[in-house]
DNA sequence: AACCTCCATACCTTCAAGGTATTGTGTTGG
DNA sequence: CCAACACAATACCTTGAAGGTATGGAGGTT
């Protein structure tokens, strides 16, 4: 049995006349007669009683008509859903974020994507950079957000945004009295650094900037993520350089101060990471959303900065 | 798209290898490759990613696999249900019964049929003989139960059973003192007759039997059905001849007495009536059940009596 | 009786599914 | 590093079934 048989059967059942049904199907009458006979033979069931006025459904035929219409609609829905899946409009996207990634840009980006593609279920996983790379290679996730991603042969990156660095200080700290601070002013002040773990990371960036400013920072503590770093600042452990998105987090006693006289590379990137061999249309659509989102939000700061450039600036 | 495409797709998706899938489908590899390409092209969706180790489903392909399996099972169920419908094992049977038909044999017959064909929904309609004939011609019912059915060109009958006649009398009536009664004893006693309506009917039978016994009955009242007749006997309106199945109905003050020295035609038939042109397998199965049921239950009384004979004996 | 309207049958044509042989492309093993 | 292997893709041929035209045959109507 074929879907063609069902289409023909439905037409004959509705027209109650083979000739008219054949016209509707744009075929001639004899083949249609044969297809119906064939269908009846294959099922072993008389679907029509032939009357002088045409074809009349038997009770079994009535039942089969309902079933045939049902099959038709199930097939239609299946193809439609599959096509939407093929266009990246339906499905599932597993995304990894890092610890403080829930602050700032990422949630707004995810919201924009979910509004544009409501039928794509996004699943968030919190992972470190190394875990993200591992998970991408094992295909447990499709995309990861992170900073300072080194180029890898099997993984590609797409810049999402670049952010300013800000100084987080305790309100009782001498530097809190400044409107804004410059790099050399940071020398001699104990500094909280993050994250621990795989290099290169934000620590290297800070170390290099300090070095360029002519000093080596005093490390008071190394911690896992920016949120913990700011919490230590609140506790008086020292000062801490953070990306601007961390200001979304307000802790009592902590104030943020901009940096002045900073070199052009004194910005930190936020990128997403994915398999170069991933052809998933959902990923493509997500990356399109990222590009569209990056335009209005980082224009003037980093528009035109390519993945490679972001990396070069990163270390 | 064809059901063949779905079958092939499922095989390839399950084997993750066109060659093995082709072997499983008993075709060679190249046609299968082409069918899959064709399916992808028609849907406009890549369903597989070709790897050196075989075929791997894309996300859209995973979705389509679920859909394809679903379609397959829907089609299987549709054919199976249609086949059962074609064998008369699934569907609906509209049956008409007459007023007192709910007494006696019919409910037992219907129960037997429902046990044998649990998926056939039987719908009962109470109709007079004339209404049954009309409803059969309009196809509103498939089968009617009645007594004393005259042969009609477009309708056929099947004898279900023959029943004895019994005398229903009030317990205070003189005839109630007899163990059994003979026809001549009925003369002079006012008699309740039924049913009113289309002839020939039970009245004609009773009138003829009285005539053969040499008297014309005194009619005290004509009523619509046996139940009303017996109710009038309870009320003292007179005596009433009824088929034996009416004894299922016990009314206070009414007793039933057998008739003795009765002629062989002093039995009343119960038959079912259906269209001669009705090919419905459900009807055939029902008639088979009737025949099987008639055997053990009326053996010795009327086995071997054909439809025509029943009628001949009826009037 | 002639005609009309159906469906069914006979016979031909064509197109696509299936087969065989082969190529191309990655991966693996010596 | 080359040869062998495994896989899908392509080229080309064969065949079977779907579709077309012409016609038959049955039941009903004027």
Closest partner residue to B63 (CB to CB) among A59, A74, A81 is A81
Neighbours of B302 (CB within 10 A): 19
CB contact under 8 A, B59 and A4: no
pLDDT value, residue A198: 75
**pLDDT over 70, % of chain B:** 94
Confidence of residue A102 (pLDDT cuts 50, 70, 90): confident
Residues of A in contact with B83 (CB under 8 A): 43-45
pLDDT digits (tens, 9 = 90+) for B51-83: 888 899 999 999 999 999 999 999 999 999 999
Give the separation between CA A271 and CA A279, rounded to whole angstroms: 19
With a cut of 90, say whether residue B197 has pLDDT above it: no
**pLDDT over 70, % of chain A:** 94
Residue A295 or A194, more confident: A194
Question: Which superfamily, per CATH, for B162-260?
Answer: Periplasmic binding protein-like II (3.40.190.10)
pLDDT value, residue A231: 93
> Are the C-beta atoms of A143 and A219 separated by less than 8 Å?
no
A42: closest CA of chain B, how far (Å): 10
With a cut of 50, say whether residue B314 has pLDDT above it: no
| Peptide bond between residue A195 and the one before it cis (omega within 30 degrees of 0) | yes
| Region(s) of chain A under CATH 3.40.190.10 | 91-160+270-314, 161-258
| Region(s) of chain A under CATH 1.10.10.10 | 3-86
pLDDT value, residue B301: 36
Whole-number Å distance, CA A18 to C1' D29?
21
Q: State the CATH class of domain A161-258.
A: alpha beta
Fold category of A91-160+270-314 in CATH? D-Maltodextrin-Binding Protein; domain 2 (3.40.190)
Mean pLDDT of A113-133: 94
Tokens matching residue A249: 């987090």
| Region(s) of chain B under CATH 3.40.190.10 | 91-160+270-314, 162-260
Q: Which residue of A has its CA nearest to B87?
A: A45
CA distances from residue A31 to A5, A25, B203 in whole angstroms, order as listed: 11, 11, 58
Give the separation between CA A122 and CA A91, rounded to whole angstroms: 9
pLDDT digits (tens, 9 = 90+) for A195-228: 877 778 888 888 888 888 889 988 889 898 888 9
For all residues of chain A together, what is the average pLDDT? 88
CB contact under 8 A, A43 and B91: no
> Are the C-beta atoms of A270 and A301 separated by less than 8 Å?
no
Confidence of residue A315 (pLDDT cuts 50, 70, 90): very low
With a cut of 60, say whether residue A9 has pLDDT above it: yes
Q: Which of residues 73 through 112 in chain A touch B, CB cutoff 8 A?
A: 74-75, 77-79, 81-83, 85-86, 90-92
Closest partner residue to B45 (CB to CB) among A2, A47, A86 is A86
B271: closest CA of chain A, how far (Å): 24
For all residues of chain B together, what is the average pLDDT? 88
pLDDT digits (tens, 9 = 90+) for B222-268: 898 899 999 999 999 999 999 999 988 889 999 999 998 888 878 89
pLDDT digits (tens, 9 = 90+) for A33-73: 999 999 999 999 999 999 988 899 999 999 999 999 999 99
CB contact under 8 A, B71 and A78: yes
Stated as kind and residue range, the H or E segment containing A56 is strand A54-57
Whole-number Å distance, CA A55 to C1' D28?
16
CB contact under 8 A, A43 and B74: no
pLDDT digits (tens, 9 = 90+) for A64-96: 999 999 999 999 999 999 999 999 999 999 999
The answer regarding whether domain B3-86 maps to CATH 3.90.1300.10 reads no
With a cut of 70, say whether residue B311 has pLDDT above it: no
Confidence of residue B304 (pLDDT cuts 50, 70, 90): very low
Nucleotide closest in space to B34 (CA vs C1'): D9
């Amino acid at each position: 049995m074929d879907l063609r048989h069902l289409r023909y059967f439905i037409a004959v059942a509705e027209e109650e006349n083979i000739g008219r049904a054949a016209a509707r199907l744009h075929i001639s009458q004899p083949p249609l007669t044969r297809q119906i006979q064939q269908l009846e033979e294959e099922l072993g069931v008389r679907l029509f009683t032939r009357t002088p006025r045409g074809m009349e459904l038997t009770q079994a035929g009535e039942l089969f008509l309902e079933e045939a219409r049902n099959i038709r609609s199930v097939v239609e829905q299946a193809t439609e859903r599959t096509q939407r899946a093929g266009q990246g409009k339906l499905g599932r996207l597993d995304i990894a974020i890092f610890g403080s990634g829930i602050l700032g840009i990422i949630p707004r980006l995810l919201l924009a994507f979910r509004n544009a593609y409501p039928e794509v279920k996004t699943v968030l996983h919190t992972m470190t950079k190394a875990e993200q790379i591992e998970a991408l290679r094992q295909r447990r996730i499709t995309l990861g957000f992170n900073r300072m991603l080194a180029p890898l042969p099997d993984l590609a990156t797409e810049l999402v945004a670049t952010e300013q660095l800000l100084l987080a200080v305790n309100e009782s700290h001498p530097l809190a009295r400044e409107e804004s601070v410059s790099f050399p002013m940071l020398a001699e002040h104990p500094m909280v650094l993050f994250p621990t773990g795989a290099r290169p990371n934000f620590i290297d960036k800070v170390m290099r900037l300090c070095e360029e400013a002519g000093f080596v920072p005093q490390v008071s503590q190394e911690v896992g993520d920016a949120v913990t770093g700011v919490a230590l600042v609140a506790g008086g452990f020292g000062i801490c350089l953070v990306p601007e998105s961390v200001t979304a987090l307000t802790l009592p006693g902590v104030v943020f101060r901009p940096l002045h006289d900073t070199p052009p590379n004194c910005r930190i990137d936020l990128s997403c990471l994915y398999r170069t061999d991933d052809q998933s249309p959902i990923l493509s659509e997500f990356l399109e959303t990222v590009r569209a989102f990056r335009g209005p939000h980082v224009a003037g700061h980093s528009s035109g900065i390519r993945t490679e450039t972001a990396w070069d600036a990163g270390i």
